[in-house]
Structure 1
Amino acid sequence: MSQNCTKAPKPTKKVYFCDGAVRGKIVTLLKQHYELIFTDENPDYIFYSCMGFEHIHYDGVRIFATGENVRADFNFCDYAIGYDYIHFEDRYLRYPLYLHYESDMQKAMNKHLHITPETIGSKTRFCTFVVSNGKADETRTQFFDFLNQYKHIHSGGQYKNNIGTPVADKHTFLQEGKFNIAFENSSTNGYTTEKLIQAFAAHTIPIYWGDKRVSLPLDVAGGG
């Protein structure tokens, strides 16, 4: 005897992202469990970061979700998603920014098949640099200026742009360089963004500075 098996409807939740909150894979994961309504009218969950103060006007569950080198204030937020190596019962999830770049992660996993002396030697540019934030740690700018004295670096971001206009396709641009300056905005243990992953995904050799605990291959589970 057959029985009709119907799935119970997912509960509906109202969510709102503001103040630079990372969306990334968060929305995908939430949709597995809830029917989502994206609204700023009495949201159940407010995802926020450090780029504003809009979140203080809401009374729902506050979740700090950032890709910046800023730590959560657990006196204010209910939960947090970040880069720090900390444990705080069920209130914190370590999920560094690079893990949200799923497509780049998949390409980076196969870097050993493509980063070879032959492929690197065939590239048309010595080194690439794609940066928009000119207010990061001065180490990054100092290194760019120093290496650029040795050999021309093609800078395709908004900061120190020397190719005429910011690049529309970062992946293709990175592919053209033998090396890529993949410096983070600042250096803190655990703070690993998309920069290193995107360099490997483009099959270029990253010149990296930032997270002193970063290891390769990167831990896809978020452990560092």
Structure 2
Amino acid sequence: MKYFLLLAKRHKKYLKEKKIFRNSTISFYNFWEIEDYNNFWLQKFIVDRNLNPKNKSINFFSVFGPRYVLKKQKAAINIFFSGETMSRFKKYHDYCLPEVDLALGFDDLQHEKYFRLPLWILDFFEPTVDLEKAKEKLKQLNYYKNNKPIVREKFCSLIARHDENGIRKKIVNTLNPIETVDCAGKLFNNTARLQTEFANNKVKFLENYKFNICPENTNQESYTTEKLFESFAAGCIPIYWGSAQKPEPNIFKPSSIIFFDEFKNTLSEDVERLHKDPKLYLDFISQNPFQDTAAEYIIQTISNLELKLKEIINQA
């Protein structure tokens, strides 16, 4: 019954999207809820960079809806995008490469119709970003570039809705004997301060804590989300699991992250040592978490995306 209700809900969503984009040059199907499509990153990237001067029809597809939509809605250019891991959306495991002109995602795939575009670029960098703006944004995301390092009073936080793989529970149970972990999300909730004092502003909430537990939902190579960026923006030491323990090596310095290894677990000792030694803690958080060439890597990625889209649009 639940399966049929879900199908009905997704078909209803498709009909709504079909109506919204009836007369649009750029259309979006099977995406998450987007308040303003005109300001959505993918649309602004094409419009602001004038990549479609002849106004050819472009359809973007994602994973939050039925795959048959790709066959029902055809345009001059058809592009698939997912910021999610395909382990959660198995019917899209092939990034719809047989059906589209271009696929965008976080995986490192070698395919002429695929381009790696992790979701965190859309989350943190404007479509018109240049090198100087990218450097400035990384500076903003590095709390201690803008604030004096201090030893914070509160110990450790977790903001999460679920724990499908059990990793969050293992980390919390490992650290609770040192001091109680404040869990501000639906999972293991024991504080309402995120809502009552910080109006659900995650970064402002995290600015009160020494450590932030921020594992990915799956430990898949190259799958890195916004979690590390949020920790560094708040000045927390991230306690991380995921991305095959190599999150965005062109962006982050591993020395600025505490990794949780469930098979070789030294997490309790590592965290307790930093928690109880103010000098050691200050030395750790004073590191620049970003690689020296991180901004250049981001701009190169965005420039290559521009070239790829130009090529596909011009050929259509």
TM-score calculated relative to the size of structure 1: 0.74
Out of 202, 209, 213, the position equivalent to 2:246 is 213
Equivalent position of 2:110 in the other structure = 87
1:97 is the counterpart of 2:110: no
* Candidates 189, 193, 196, aligned match of 2:221: 189
For the 8 Å contact 1:21–1:47, the answer to whether it is kept is no
**Identity level (%):** 25
**Which of 46, 60, 64 is 1:30 aligned to?**
46
Output the CA distance in 1 between the equivalents of 2:162 and 2:118.
19
Structure 1 residues 1-40: aligned runs within 5 Å? 13-20=25-32, 25-32=41-48, 33=50, 34=52
> Are the structure 2 counterparts of residues 158 and 76 from structure 1 closer, same or farther at C-alpha, using a change threshold of 3 Å?
farther
Q: What is the aligned length?
A: 200
CA distance in 1, matches of 2:214, 2:97: 31
Q: Secondary structure at the match of 2:45?
A: helix
* Residue 141 to residue 193, structure 1, CA distance change in 2 (3 Å): same
Deviates further, 72-81 or 97-106: 97-106
User: 1:147 matched to which residue of 2?
Assistant: 175
Q: Deviations over 1:168-217 (max 9, x none)?
A: 11111111110001111111111110001110011111111111322322
The alpha carbon displacement at 1:148 in A equals 2.5
Instruction: Give, in angstroms, the shift of residue 50 of structure 1.
Output: 2.3
Partner in structure 2 of residue 107 of structure 1? 140
Q: Structure 2 counterpart of 1:84, which letter? A: D
Q: Can you give the 5+ residue segments of structure 1 that lack an aligned partner in the other structure?
A: 1-11, 38-42
Separation in structure 2 between the aligned mates of residue 27 and residue 113 of structure 1, nearest angstrom:
32
- Shift of residue 162 of structure 1? 1.6
Aligned counterparts, 1:114-193, within 5 A: 118-119=149-150, 121=151, 123-135=152-164, 137-164=165-192, 167=195, 168-193=200-225
Q: Which protein is richer in strand relative to its size?
A: 1
Superposed CA RMSD: 3.1
| Aligned equivalent of 2:234, options 199, 202, 222 | 202
Question: In the alignment, does 2:83 pair up with 1:51?
Answer: no
Counterparts of 1:127 and 1:201, CA distance in 2:
16
Q: Determine the structure 2 residue equivalent to 1:40.
A: none
SS in 1 for 2:108: coil
What SS does the aligned partner of 2:25 have?
A: strand
Query: Quick one: structure 1 residues 95 and 115, their matched pair in 2 at CA, closer, same or farther if it must change by over 3 Å?
Result: farther
For normalisation by structure 2, the TM-score amounts to 0.55
